[in-house]
């Protein structure tokens, strides 16, 4: 224990136990505190083996090993050791420091110094326990919670956090957001955290995060700062609240609210619309002509429109709230009441025709009334709506219509015209009795059939085509149609198709009216034949010849001639005069036959009248052919004719003109051929001559005539003669035709045929015509002033006069000047004038018509080509040409022609004057066929003016009154 004493002094006073061990771990020294501790450990017994009691065997071994290690190395060591064997008062935990402490003899020794750390250990354990409690507590919470230190490193995360993000907490602990989240997001988190540190308090904000299932959730972060012992910011703690559901609920609620707002808005609109509609309805109600009212079940008027007010004759204010008894008389009110009840009982609309006396006008009115029960909200009848229409007018109109319809039907059914109505398929829907009577099978054969089905034939094709065009174009049309209701009958009708439109504006049906113009048609046919062919020889006449000549000229071929031959029989007149007309006619017929035999196929032989024949020879290569033909003609006509049992000899002369050599003009060619023919005649008979320029000698003669004619106008060498016109019955003088005469000094009277054509050609006729007009007017005035019957003067107007524009004006002037009344005059014009496509003629004629002048067609029948002008122009009189009249008793064809002309005139309502009546027989024929007026040598030749005044009122046919000058 010496050593103990050696150190005992400083060590023994230390409050903590200190024990010195030798290198073998043998205890060498213990201070007081150590002794006490050991004693406590061994509970007063021998302290030799106290360490074994204090430590567990494991800790003891560690303890002894450390002593030996320190003893050897000299390097201090420390051990924390639990002291299981010490009583409570000494504590259970010690930190033992081993320090090398060699003895003075350098023997290694180790000091073990004991520091009681029980208190600290206990505090540590307590802390651990609390932390674990908190951790468990947080883990049990369903809300994700996290904490971070001041540097932003995650300190703690609870289980809910792990589950929410689907990431184990190890991935977060100790890391910042920059290591756990994408950079941008991390930056946001960091900024928010810093803001919290700066501001303190509790930070709340909403955010969107992706949860474990990658679903985006709305969350609310709640964060707060926590501090350490010294009050410095140590970190933050935060919780994440999933508010997705709440938000959805919120937005749903908001949507709901908005929906309600919208609905509300719509309801307001609806209400507005309804009130607008009601206002419109009321306007409509007030404007409609029908009477409208509404009554409740008690019969009080709730509503009425303007028409009703008018009908009742009171303003609305005096109607509404009142009943029928206040407005109508009791009987009527009873009736209305009853009708209303009937409608209420029937529960549907009831229609009645009510005869009512209108209170406003006291007029009996037919009302077509509809009463309709009106239902209230509960489904019970709340009242009666009434709508009434005034049918009186309509009823009257319908009756009128029915009457009209009856009238029309009577008209149509009794019309001499055929009437049919066609549907869109061209089938007949209606035929009138006239039409039905025409058809073999009656109406049955016609109805439901198309024209092609009945009567069929070529006419029906045209007919259906016209029908279809009317259906397509809706424009009416008129055409002539020849058709046969059966094989034995032929009919010519003027058909007029009229479109009948349906409500859609399309043609629904077509009305066809057919007028029988068979008579007119036949007459026209006859006239046509007569107009183009010579009745005696059946050869083409001058008209047809001229036409063919013009055609031949326009078709002429280069290097060929078109020749015109004029043939004149030298002794015909003698035969005619000595042997009579019948023989003369036979001679002409035979001559025609011989002429036709002389020419080629394709040549035309024509008779121009009298003994004048012409031949047209187109496409003639040279003169030799013409010479041959001419010679043949002369030879053949030289041969004797056997007439009336006697041999008769005549001869002929031929003149020839060539196109294009002599002229390219048809008229010239005829003239030249004529000149050549006269030359042939003059230079001895039985010859032919070609036209040559020398023949214009004749033209020179004409020139001198022309200059004389001009002078004659100035010298007053003209005189007017008048030929009376008489009624065929009774030969009463009713007028006269003014005929021009030229009293040529030294030559006597020259007939107009010899100078009028020249006057026309030169235009002199205009002045001459004005003179004639004035003269004739003066005569008319003279003969009509007095008490006798009217004497109408006919004046010939030539076509040339119409070419001067102011013809109508001239006529007006002359009438004014002479005091002649228009009804005392008639103008004679020729057909050719009307065929000219010249509106000035029509307008002049219209003007004459409007002035009251009448118009006659002179020489009617000679120039015919189209009769349509007869209806187009205002024509009063037809003058049948004297060549027709003179043959009516000898020639059946001429007789037919005159009858045809008379029938046309009858159809068209025109007067007919027969010209050139020379015999009683002619007069009788004309009278028998309906002609009323005649002019001719039978009654009188043209007379000088004074002779007319002294004529008796009735002429004696056959007595010549004066010699024809
Ligand atoms: P026109 O207008 O056909 O006149 C009737 C002609 O027939 C007259 O010949 C008349 O003398 C003749 N005539 C009358 N009764 C008979 C009869 O019973 N038998 C025969 N064979 N002939 C009869 P006119 O006077 O020589 O006149 C010839 C033509 O001259 C007229 O034919 C007419 O076209 C024209 N003309 C006469 N005066 C005028 C006139 O003032 N102005 C115009 N522009 N032309 C006139
Ligand atoms: Ca005449
Ligand atoms: Ca005439």
Domain annotation covers residue 698: no
Helices (H), 288-376: 306-312, 324-327, 330-346
- Measured from the Cα of 828, ligand 1's closest atom is 2
Q: Which residues surround ligand 2, an ion (CB under 5 A)?
A: 796, 828, 858
Nearest CA to ligand 1 atom 45: 796
User: 533 C-alpha vs ligand 1 centroid, how far in Å?
Assistant: 24
- Measured from the Cα of 937, ligand 1's closest atom is 18
- Per-residue burial over 51-72, b = 16 or more CB atoms within 10 Å of its CB, e = otherwise: bebbbeeebbeebeebbbebbe
Dump pLDDT digits (tens) for 111-124.
999 888 888 888 88
| Entry pTM | 0.42
Domain annotation covers residue 928: yes
Evaluate whether 46 touches 55 at the Cβ level (below 8 Å).
no
Please give the backbone phi and psi of residue 961, each rounded to the nearest 5 degrees, phi first: -90, -35
Is residue 134 located within the same domain as residue 235?
yes
- By C-alpha distance, which of 240, 94, 246 is closest to 160? 240
For residues 675-695, average pLDDT: 79
**pLDDT value at residue 2:** 45
User: 686 C-alpha vs ligand 1 centroid, how far in Å?
Assistant: 33
Q: Give me the torsion for CA of 263, 268, 274, 277, rounded to 10°.
A: -110
User: 881 C-alpha vs ligand 3 centroid, how far in Å?
Assistant: 5
Dump pLDDT digits (tens) for 515-532.
998 888 888 888 877 778
For Cα atoms 125, 127, 131, give the angle at the middle one, nearest 5 degrees: 120
* Residue 408 reports pLDDT greater than 60: yes
End residue of a domain, out of 217, 250, 283: 250
Domain annotation covers residue 423: yes
- Measured from the Cα of 938, ligand 1's closest atom is 18
**pLDDT value at residue 965:** 41
Evaluate whether 608 touches 568 at the Cβ level (below 8 Å).
no
Handedness of CA 135, 138, 140, 143 (dihedral sign): negative
Q: How far apart are CA 170 and CA 174, in angstroms?
A: 8
Sheet holding 145-149, edge to edge: 154-157, 145-149, 233-242, 216-227, 202-210
Is residue 67 located within the same domain as residue 149?
no
Helices (H), 166-219: 177-180, 183-199
**pLDDT value at residue 960:** 63
Structural domain harbouring 239: 130-250
Nearest CA to ligand 1 atom 30: 752
- Helix %, strand %, coil % of the chain (to 5): 45, 25, 30
Domain annotation covers residue 375: no
Domain annotation covers residue 340: no
Q: How far apart are CA 489 and CA 363, in angstroms?
A: 61
Higher pLDDT, 564 or 394: 564
Per-residue confidence band for 497, with pLDDT thresholds at 50, 70 and 90: very high
Domain annotation covers residue 899: yes
Dump pLDDT digits (tens) for 434-471.
999 988 888 999 999 999 998 888 888 889 999 999 99
Q: Residue 954 has what DSSP assignment?
A: B
**pLDDT value at residue 590:** 94
Q: Residue 693 has what DSSP assignment?
A: G
- Measured from the Cα of 881, ligand 1's closest atom is 3
Q: How far apart are CA 391 and CA 559, in angstroms?
A: 87
> Which CATH number characterizes residue 766's domain?
3.20.20.450
* Residue 425 reports pLDDT greater than 70: yes
- Measured from the Cα of 756, ligand 1's closest atom is 45
3-state secondary structure of 155: strand
Is residue 669 located within the same domain as residue 565?
yes
Q: Residue 305 has what DSSP assignment?
A: -
* Structure tokens that stand for 901 in this block: 């002309």
Evaluate whether 722 touches 738 at the Cβ level (below 8 Å).
yes
Evaluate whether 204 touches 220 at the Cβ level (below 8 Å).
yes
End residue of a domain, out of 116, 148, 180: 116
User: 881 C-alpha vs ligand 2 centroid, how far in Å?
Assistant: 9
Q: How far apart are CA 469 and CA 786, in angstroms?
A: 60
Q: How far apart are CA 165 and CA 763, in angstroms?
A: 127
Residue 233, strand partner residues: 227
* Residue 86 reports pLDDT greater than 50: yes
Which helix H or strand E contains 231, and what residues bound it? Answer: none
Mean per-residue pLDDT over the chain, rounded: 87
* Structure tokens that stand for 360 in this block: 């406003």
**pLDDT value at residue 866:** 58
Q: Which ligand is nearest to the CA of 760?
A: 1
Q: How far apart are CA 13 and CA 246, in angstroms?
A: 73
3-state secondary structure of 491: strand
Is residue 625 located within the same domain as residue 508?
no
The percent of residues in the chain predicted with pLDDT above 90, rounded, is 38
User: 739 C-alpha vs ligand 3 centroid, how far in Å?
Assistant: 11
* Structure tokens that stand for 536 in this block: 């005696």
What residues have CB less than 8 Å from 202, skipping those under 6 apart? 222, 223, 224
> Which CATH number characterizes residue 83's domain?
3.30.450.20
Evaluate whether 613 touches 595 at the Cβ level (below 8 Å).
yes
Pairing of strands 854-860, 877-880: parallel
Q: Which of 721, 726, 750, 752 best tests ligand 1's pocket when mutated (most atoms within 8 Å of CB)?
A: 752
Handedness of CA 833, 837, 841, 843 (dihedral sign): positive
Is residue 834 located within the same domain as residue 885?
yes
Q: How far apart are CA 299 and CA 297, in angstroms?
A: 5
* Structure tokens that stand for 8 in this block: 């005992």
Q: Left if phi > 0, otherwise alpha if psi is -120 to 50, otherwise beta: which for 25? A: left
- Measured from the Cα of 760, ligand 1's closest atom is 44
Kindly calculate the radius of gyration of the chain based on its CA atoms and give it in whole angstroms: 72
- Measured from the Cα of 740, ligand 1's closest atom is 38
Dump pLDDT digits (tens) for 303-318.
898 989 999 999 999 9
3-state secondary structure of 772: helix
Is residue 788 located within the same domain as residue 927?
yes
User: 870 C-alpha vs ligand 1 centroid, how far in Å?
Assistant: 23
The ligand 1 site (C-beta within 6 Å) comprises 723, 738-740, 751-753, 756, 765, 772, 796, 798, 858-859, 882, 915-918, 936-937, 942
* Structure tokens that stand for 514 in this block: 């057919």
Higher pLDDT, 529 or 619: 619
DSSP string, 614-646: EEEEEEE--HHHHHHHHHHHHHHHHSPEEETTE
Dmax over Cα atoms in the chain, in whole Å?
Answer: 224
Is residue 112 located within the same domain as residue 64?
yes
* Residue 300 reports pLDDT greater than 90: yes
Evaluate whether 203 touches 222 at the Cβ level (below 8 Å).
yes
Q: Which of 796, 833, 886 best tests ligand 1's pocket when mutated (most atoms within 8 Å of CB)?
A: 796
Is residue 13 located within the same domain as residue 46?
yes
Residue entry with tokens 């997705």:
244
**pLDDT value at residue 7:** 55
Q: How far is CA 360 from the centre of its chain?
A: 48
For residues 495-518, average pLDDT: 91
End residue of a domain, out of 250, 271, 286: 250
For residues 694-707, average pLDDT: 66
Handedness of CA 658, 661, 663, 666 (dihedral sign): positive
Q: How far apart are CA 433 and CA 580, in angstroms?
A: 55
Count: domains in the chain? 5
Per-residue confidence band for 474, with pLDDT thresholds at 50, 70 and 90: very high
Residue entry with tokens 């003169």:
623
Nearest CA to ligand 1 atom 37: 739
- By C-alpha distance, which of 695, 683, 649, 736 is closest to 913? 736
Is residue 768 located within the same domain as residue 727?
yes
Assess whether the previous peptide bond of 399 is cis (omega < 30° from 0).
no
Evaluate whether 306 touches 314 at the Cβ level (below 8 Å).
no
Q: Residue 534 has what DSSP assignment?
A: -
**pLDDT value at residue 963:** 45
Burial class (CB in 10 A: 0-12, 13-18, 19+), 626: buried
Burial class (CB in 10 A: 0-12, 13-18, 19+), 11: buried
Q: How far apart are CA 777 and CA 794, in angstroms?
A: 10
Sheet holding 291-296, edge to edge: 301-304, 291-296, 381-390, 364-375, 350-357
Nearest CA to ligand 1 atom 7: 916
Evaluate whether 856 touches 794 at the Cβ level (below 8 Å).
yes
User: 849 C-alpha vs ligand 3 centroid, how far in Å?
Assistant: 21
- By C-alpha distance, which of 433, 426, 435 is closest to 409? 433
- Measured from the Cα of 772, ligand 1's closest atom is 41
* Structure tokens that stand for 307 in this block: 């028409």
What residues have CB less than 8 Å from 234, skipping those under 6 apart? 149, 150, 226, 227, 228
* Structure tokens that stand for 675 in this block: 């000149």
Per-residue confidence band for 154, with pLDDT thresholds at 50, 70 and 90: very high
User: 883 C-alpha vs ligand 3 centroid, how far in Å?
Assistant: 9
**pLDDT value at residue 889:** 94
Q: How far is CA 179 from the centre of its chain?
A: 80
User: 750 C-alpha vs ligand 2 centroid, how far in Å?
Assistant: 17
Nearest CA to ligand 1 atom 16: 916
End-to-end distance of the chain based on CA atoms, in angstroms? 217
Q: Residue 381 has what DSSP assignment?
A: E
**pLDDT value at residue 837:** 63
Is residue 138 located within the same domain as residue 111?
no
Q: Residue 603 has what DSSP assignment?
A: -
User: 667 C-alpha vs ligand 1 centroid, how far in Å?
Assistant: 23
Which helix H or strand E contains 316, and what residues bound it? Answer: none
**pLDDT value at residue 964:** 43
* Structure tokens that stand for 365 in this block: 């009115």
Is residue 508 located within the same domain as residue 596?
no
Q: Find the range with the poorest average confidence among 52-61, 314-323, 912-921.
A: 52-61
3-state secondary structure of 417: coil
Higher pLDDT, 895 or 9: 895
User: 710 C-alpha vs ligand 3 centroid, how far in Å?
Assistant: 25
Q: Which ligand is nearest to the CA of 833?
A: 1
Domain annotation covers residue 863: yes
Is residue 86 located within the same domain as residue 157?
no
User: 826 C-alpha vs ligand 3 centroid, how far in Å?
Assistant: 14
Cα distances from 23 to residues 28, 57, 74, 88, 104, in angstroms, run 10, 20, 11, 31, 14
Cα distances from 537 to residues 534, 599, 655, in angstroms, run 6, 16, 21
Residue 877, strand partner residues: 856, 911
Per-residue confidence band for 108, with pLDDT thresholds at 50, 70 and 90: confident
**pLDDT value at residue 1:** 42
Nearest CA to ligand 1 atom 20: 916
Q: Which ligand is nearest to the CA of 794?
A: 2
């Amino acid at each position: 224990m010496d050593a103990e004493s050696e150190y005992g002094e400083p060590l023994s006073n230390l409050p903590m136990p200190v024990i010195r061990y030798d290198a073998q771990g043998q205890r060498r020294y213990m201070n007081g505190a150590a002794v006490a501790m050991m004693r406590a450990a061994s509970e007063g017994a021998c302290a030799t083996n106290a360490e074994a009691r204090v430590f567990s065997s494991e800790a003891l071994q560690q303890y002894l090993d450390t002593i030996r290690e320190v003893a050897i190395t000299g390097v201090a060591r420390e051990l924390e050791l639990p002291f299981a064997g010490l009583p409570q008062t000494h504590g259970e935990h010690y930190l033992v420091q081993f320090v090398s402490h060699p003895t003075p003899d350098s023997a290694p020794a180790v000091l073990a110094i004991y520091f009681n750390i029980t208190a600290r250990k206990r505090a540590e354990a307590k802390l651990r326990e609390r932390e674990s409690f908190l951790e468990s507590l947080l883990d049990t919470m369903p809300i994700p919670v996290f904490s971070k230190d001041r540097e932003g490193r995650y300190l703690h995360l609870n289980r809910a956090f792990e589950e929410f993000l689907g990431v184990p907490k190890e991935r977060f602990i100790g890391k910042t957001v920059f290591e756990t989240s994408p950079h941008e997001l991390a930056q946001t988190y960091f900024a928010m955290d810093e803001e919290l540190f700066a501001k303190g308090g509790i930070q709340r904000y909403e955010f969107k995060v992706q949860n474990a299932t990658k679903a985006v959730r709305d969350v609310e972060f709640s964060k707060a700062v926590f501090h350490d012992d010294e009050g410095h910011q140590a970190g933050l703690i935060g919780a994440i609240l999933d508010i997705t559901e709440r938000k959805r609920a919120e937005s749903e609620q908001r949507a709901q609210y908005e929906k309600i707002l919208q609905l509300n808005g719509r309801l307001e609109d609806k209400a507005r619309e309804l009130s607008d509609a009601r206002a419109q309805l009321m306007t409509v109600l007030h404007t409609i002509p029908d009477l409208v009212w509404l009554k409740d079940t008690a019969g009080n008027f709730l509503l009425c429109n303007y028409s009703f007010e008018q009908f009742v004759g009171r303003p609305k204010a005096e109607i509404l709230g009142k009943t029928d008894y206040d407005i109508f008389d009791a009987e009527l009110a009873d009736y209305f009441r009853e009708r209303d009840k009937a409608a209420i009982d029937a529960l549907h609309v009831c229609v009645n025709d009510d005869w009512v006396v209108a209170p406003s006008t006291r007029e009996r009115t037919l009302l077509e009334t509809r009463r309709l029960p009106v239902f209230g909200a509960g489904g019970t009848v709340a009242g009666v709506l009434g709508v009434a229409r005034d049918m009186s007018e309509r009823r009257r109109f319908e009756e009128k219509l029915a009457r009209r319809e009856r009238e029309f039907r009577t008209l149509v059914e009794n019309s001499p015209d055929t009437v049919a109505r066609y549907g869109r398929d061209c089938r007949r829907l209606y035929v009138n009795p006239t039409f039905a009577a025409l058809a073999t099978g009656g109406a049955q054969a016609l109805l439901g059939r198309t024209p092609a089905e009945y009567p069929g034939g070529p006419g029906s094709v045209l007919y259906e085509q016209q029908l279809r065009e009317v259906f397509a174009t809706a424009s009416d049309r008129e055409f002539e149609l020849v058709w046969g209701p059966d094989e034995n009958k032929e009919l010519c009708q003027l058909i007029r198709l009229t479109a009948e439109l349906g409500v859609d504006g399309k043609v629904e049906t077509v009305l066809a009216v057919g007028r029988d113009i068979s008579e007119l048609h036949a007459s026209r046919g006859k006239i046509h034949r007569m107009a183009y062919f010579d009745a005696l020889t059946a050869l083409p006449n001058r008209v047809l010849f001229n036409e063919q000549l013009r055609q031949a000229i326009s078709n002429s071929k280069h290097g060929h001639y078109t020749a015109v031959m004029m043939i004149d029989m030298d002794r015909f007149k003698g035969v005619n005069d000595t042997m009579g007309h019948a023989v003369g006619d036979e001679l002409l017929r035979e001559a025609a036959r011989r002429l036709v035999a002389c020419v080629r196929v394709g040549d035309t032989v024509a008779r121009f009248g009298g003994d004048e024949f012409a031949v047209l020879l187109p496409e003639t290569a040279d003169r030799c052919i013409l010479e041959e033909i001419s010679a043949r003609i002369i030879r053949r006509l030289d041969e004797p004719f056997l007439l009336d049992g006697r041999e008769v000899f005549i001869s002929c002369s031929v003149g020839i003109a060539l196109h294009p050599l002599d002229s390219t003009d048809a008229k010239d060619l005829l003239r030249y051929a004529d000149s050549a023919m006269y030359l042939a005649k003059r230079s001895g008979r039985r010859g032919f001559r070609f036209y040559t320029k020398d023949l214009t000698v004749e033209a020179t003669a004409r020139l001198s005539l022309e200059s004389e004619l001009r002078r004659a106008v100035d010298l007053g060498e003209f005189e007017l003669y008048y030929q009376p016109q008489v009624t065929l019955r009774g030969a009463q003088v009713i007028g006269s035709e003014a005929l021009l005469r030229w009293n040529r000094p030294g030559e006597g009277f020259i007939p107009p045929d010899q100078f009028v054509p020249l006057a026309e050609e030169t235009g002199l006729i205009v002045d001459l015509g004005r003179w004639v007009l004035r003269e004739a007017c003066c005569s008319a005035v003279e003969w009509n002033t007095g008490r006798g019957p009217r004497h109408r003067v006919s004046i010939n107007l030539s076509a040339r006069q119409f070419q001067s524009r102011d013809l109508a004006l001239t006529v007006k002037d002359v009438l004014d000047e002479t005091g002649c009344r228009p009804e005392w005059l008639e103008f004679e014009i020729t057909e050719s004038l009307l065929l000219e496509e010249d509106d000035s003629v029509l307008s002049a004629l219209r003007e004459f018509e409007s002035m009251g002048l009448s118009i006659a067609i002179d020489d009617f029948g000679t120039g015919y080509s189209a009769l349509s002008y007869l209806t187009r122009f205002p024509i009063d009189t037809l003058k049948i040409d004297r060549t027709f009249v003179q043959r009516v008793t000898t020639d059946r064809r001429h007789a037919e022609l005159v009858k045809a002309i008379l029938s046309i005139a009858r159809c068209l309502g025109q007067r007919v004057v027969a010209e050139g009546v020379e015999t009683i027989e002619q007069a009788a024929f004309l009278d028998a066929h309906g002609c009323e007026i005649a002019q001719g040598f039978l009654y009188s030749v043209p007379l000088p003016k004074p002779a007319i005044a002294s004529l008796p009122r009735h002429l004696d046919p056959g007595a010549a009154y004066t010699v024809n000058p």
